[in-house]
Amino acid sequence: MGHFGVQPQFKVRFSGVAGRIFAAAWNRSIEEFRQDLKAMQNLVTNPKIDLFARIPWGDGQTILREALLLADHNAYHLGQFVDLRRLLGAWKG
Does the predicted TM-score (pTM) go above 0.75? no
pLDDT in tens, the chain (93 residues): 444 444 445 455 667 887 788 878 888 888 898 899 999 999 999 999 999 999 999 899 999 999 999 999 999 988 888 888 888 787 776
Q: What is the C-alpha end-to-end distance of the chain, expressed in Å?
A: 12
The domain segmentation of the chain, as residue ranges, is: 15-87
Write the DSSP assignment of 37-89 as a string of letters.
HHHHHHHHH-TTS-TTSBPTTSSS-BHHHHHHHHHHHHHHHHHHHHHHHHHTT
